[in-house]
Structures are given as C-alpha cells and as structure tokens.
Chains A and B, each alone.
Chain A
Amino acid sequence: MPSLISPAERDYILKGIECNIRADGRQRSDFREITLETSVVSQTSGSARVRIAGGSDVLISVKAEIGPVQVDPETGDGADKGQIICSIECAPSASQQFEGRGADDLNNELTQMMSRFLCSNNTAISSLSPTCSGSGGIDLSKLCIIPGQQCWILFVDALVLDYGGNLMDAIFMGVRAAIYDTKIPKTEVQDLGDGQFEFEVLDDEEDIDFVHGREDMPICITLNKIGTRHIVDATLLEELCTEAKLVVAVNRAGEICGLQKNHDGSIEPSLLLEMIQVGKTMGQALIKNLDAKIKEEAESDLTKRLQGDPARKLGFFAQ
C-alpha cells in the first residue's frame, strides 16, 4: 500500500471530490460498509471488532480490574471514582510503516486523543496521569467499590490490525460497542467497622452490572479537508491528499465532546464551523445506526443463551 502518491493522482482525487464523485464512486458524505461484532475475545470483560470494508480493522478490548483509587493530592478529587485507562496500539503487521518504532508517534497521538475525548475536563492533563478523571458520559462514581480505597479500573485497549484509512472513527465505534458489551461483576461490601471494609466479587455470571452512562459515550467523525471541500471516511490515498483533518467527537445528545485538528494545513474559520456542524449531524446519525446494531446483537446473544445455544462468534476471517 502506498505511502506515496503522484501529483497526477492527487489532482484527479481533488477534482473528483469537487464534483462529488470520489475515486471509488462514493459521494463526499458516504461511508464504506462496516462490519461489527461484539464479544469476540473471551478473556475480556467486553470486546468488539470493527472492520471497514477495504479499510481499517480494529479490535477493542475492555478489561475491568480492581485497583486503588487515585486521589488528586490538591483537590482531594477522585476518592469516590473509578478510572478509565486507554491505550491504542498499531500492530506492526498492520502496515509497512508500523514496523519497529514507526508506530510510536501514531500510537501516542491516538491514545492522547482518545483519553481527551473520553474525559470531560482537563484536570487529567494537569495532574499528568493518563487516566480520565472526568467521564465521556460514563459515570465513574458507579465504578467505585469502597470510597477512598478500591475501585474498578477499566482498561480500554485498542489494537489496530489493518490500516486502510479512517482509523479514529473505527476505534471509537469499537470502543462504544465494547463498553456497551462490558459486563462488570457485582460486588458485596461488608462494613467491618472502624472504617475497615471488605468486599467480595460475586461469581455468578448472571449477576453483572453494565457500565453506567454507556449510552452517553461519544463517537467521532473524521472530516478530511481536500481542496475546498471535506469528505468522510477517507481511503489511504485520499488521506495522503488531505490538507487538514478535523476529528469531531459527538455524543447522542448532540454535544461536542472534543475537537482536534491534524495535519499541516489550515482551515478557514467559516469552513471550520461548517465542518463542526456537519460532524455533529453525521455523528448523531451514526450513533443511531450503531446503537441499533449493537442492541440487535446483544438481543440475539441473549436469546441464544437463554435457549442454551452458545452464541457463535465468527471472529477474524469472516468477511
């Protein structure tokens, strides 16, 4: 796959975008087909795999572990909250440019972007930890087990298996699906008196909690500015022609949860505001479709389980 592009191809793609016929026949606001499957990895609390046809393939896993609370020494904040720690890694097998340390910068950029969008305030950054002390809609206080002592820590790990453009959108869709799918065991807390607590994690498979606030998690839409227009869901070649990329994180209610510009170009202010609006409308429509799919899958899994059939997951080689 090329990381180079010829001036003639660049010009062809640019003019094509101007008359709304992209190189593969899509229009500027068309997405490619997306394949989504949840609960693909057995060792996790929740997982999802998202594959964009002919494009990127990402695998998201959410593991819930128990750990000490992180208290901000200055404000005393965090004693009654759980944590979310994100990490994104591009597997060296995903693309030739990722071998060795090549993916380091990209990994870091994506991880920081995800941490920022899943937090709703910046104190995480000033206190240096990569954890989210706010919430991307997720109610962290419900993740606390014993205030001041123990809480649930959700490790959200994304692995990029194939790089074909439009990585951020795929990752966020997967994270939303994986968190929707995450099952956290219930805990029973016993008060031993004197401020001492003991807790026990219930073993019953049916006794689980879903993550509170998972419907309010944001997804993101990446808008690529090429020439004077912008497109969504760019292929690799289109990404090479991009002057500036704007990532808009939107939640179900239409609130913008984050905004970040990438690449070396500049955007005119009125175009920026227009792109934000476009991102917001598209994001809301995308969330609707995505939620419908996730719910459908969750329901079919549930009916299969109640009937005693194990839910058959197709995993990696299915189209």
Chain B
Amino acid sequence: MISKLKNNDKLLMIVFAILVLAGPIILAPFGAGYPDLLQRFAIFGILAVGYNILFGLTGYLSFGHAAFLGVGSYSTVWMFKLLTMNIIPGIILAVIMSGLFALLIGFITLRRSGIYFSILTLAFAQMSYSLAYSVLTPITNGETGLQLSLADARVLDPVNTSGSIPSTNLFGLEMNDTWRTTILGMDFQFNVGFYVSAFILIGMFYLSIRIFRSPFGLMLRAIKSNQNRLIYTGINTRPYTLAAFVISGMYAGLAGGLLASMDPLAGAERMQWTESGSIILMVILGGTGTLLGPVLGAGVIKYFEAIFSRINENVLHAWFDILPGFMENAMVWIVLPFVGKGWQLTLGLVFMLVVIFLPGGLMEGATRIGNWVMKLKNRGSADSTKTSAKTSAKSSDE
C-alpha cells in the first residue's frame, strides 16, 4: 500500500504515524498529555486535513465547514440513542450524512467562485445553525443540545440495568478508558479514545496524501492556479470542485462524529461560523496546501485554547516570583490580558506574525529552518566533501 507513494511521502507517512502514536509521551512534558486535549488534537487534525483538500488545493474558501461538523455530531449521537453505543455505526452515519449535506450545499454554492462562494457558504452555515437552534428542535433538541438519556432505545445493545448511561465504546473498548503510568515523576496517560482518533487521523492523512498525488489532485491545483485555462483545456471544473467539497465535508463530518464519540452530546454552537473561522485559522497557520501544515495548525490552536486559557493571575505571580515586587506586578499586569480569557489575543498576535512573516504558515518556517541548518552543515563540511553538499542541495530542491 505504502509503496505506491513517493519515497519522501513514505518517510513522511512513517514519521507522521510515529509522532501521532507517541503523542501522549511527546506532549506530556508540555502539560498537554491528558486525554481530552489529545483527542482534540487528533480530531481537529482530521478536520484541518479535510479542509485543506478543499481550500489548500482548489483555493475555494468555505466558511461553512462547521455545519458539516455539526451534522456529523448530531448523526452520531442519534445512533447512540437509537442503535448502539458502539461508535462504528455512528461514525459511518456521520460521514454519510455530512457527505449528502455537502453535496446539496456544494451543488448550490459552487455555482459561484471567489468571495461569492465564501459568502454563500457562510449564509448556509448560519442557516444550518439557526435551524439546529430553533426549527429543528425535535431532531437537535435546540439550545440544550442533543444528549443521551436512560430511556433511549439502543436496540442493538443489551438491556441496561446499571442505572447509568453506558459509555461509548468500540466493541467493548470504552472511549474514556485510560491507562496511566508514571515514569520519572511524569504522568503519562494512554487513552482509548485518543488512539481510536489517532488511527483514523493516520488513515485520513494517508488518504489526503493519495489525493494530493493523484491526477484528481493535480486538477484541483490547476483550478486554484488558473480555472479559465482549465475550462479551455476541456475540463469541466464543476464536478471537480464539488467532489473536493464533498470529500472535505465528509472529513468534517467524520471529525464531528468522533467529537460526539468522545463526549456524547451535540450542540448547535458547534455549527456557528466562528467555528468555521477557527478551522480556516488552523489551516492558514499551519500552511495552506501543505500536507503536514493543517495538523500542525490544529495542534497549535487547540494547545493555545487549552493551555493559555488556564493561566490565571496566581500562575503568573508564580512565574514572575523572582522579580522584585513592583516589577512582578508590572509583568503580571502586562501579560494578564493575553492569557486566561484573553488567550485569543495571543493567538491573534501569533497568527498575525505568521501571516506577515511566514505567508506559507508554520511549515514555511520549518522549511526555512531546515534549509538554514542544511546550509550551515554544508558550509562546515564544504572543503572535505563537496559532493555530499551537492547531493543534499539537490534533495532540498525537490
């Protein structure tokens, strides 16, 4: 299977899989090694990878992807209520429903391109949000959100006698099951839900590499580059953009289904346009059109959300403890607006810096550092081995 990819992609795929699976170990020192956040990394990674197939390849900027996330979540929770607490049927329904929904919305919105397309998707997303919030209350349970209850049918599951709502599982493996261990005073948590999401993320990442390297992906990139030329080259661009839209919508639905699988409730606020906006931020921050960028962007944003929002005044005082009293207070006064409730201010600053200085996102930064390191290395060994410098320069070109 993997041999069909380019050599570089094979390496990328292996490194990616190792990094993702070792996530609980790598992220623990950064205070991010707990299940809830790890799950979010993986799930929003899937979302961003899917969004990148639309935005990164075709350049169509959709403000409506939160709607697919919501559709996925509602579908999955309904499966939990009616059929079984096993996550498989729920996730399958989430993908199918969001795909159908994307087909409908895409069919209408893709008649336009550029800013008009973006506005149309925004309108659709807001419409879906309002529907979920009010009109469709029988399906979505309005403002309260769709929740599980003891009275739910769950026809496939054995009769529940425990008196509490059963937890979501994968053939008996409960999502919130966590195996904890302490090594060198560090707490490591290996959570079932995270590993389910992680394996799906790896699979979805592989799928996105395949799409990037396929003739279909080439056509999508051609649409972004010069749609007019493509039309006069005998290509009907509409089905291509629609297919990309549906694929990325299904990715979003899958992410929504997984979110509901980890925490079985679905609310309308998940469909709000600000949520769509944060998906766009993830992709742009990480690097639009790159393979790894979106996952990186999703990780950074979710990290900021989880970690910076928890820093409060007391924590800051502890940080600046070594400074003399008045300076400590001054520093706390300066930093405080950027943490806690103000975490988005920090995110905004980081985002601005990245967009201004690294238009290609964090991936461009990584590439620049990589090239710089390569240059230093080459300079160091230039006299002794000129040939190796040549080959490495060649490989960095590719």
A and B associate in one complex: no
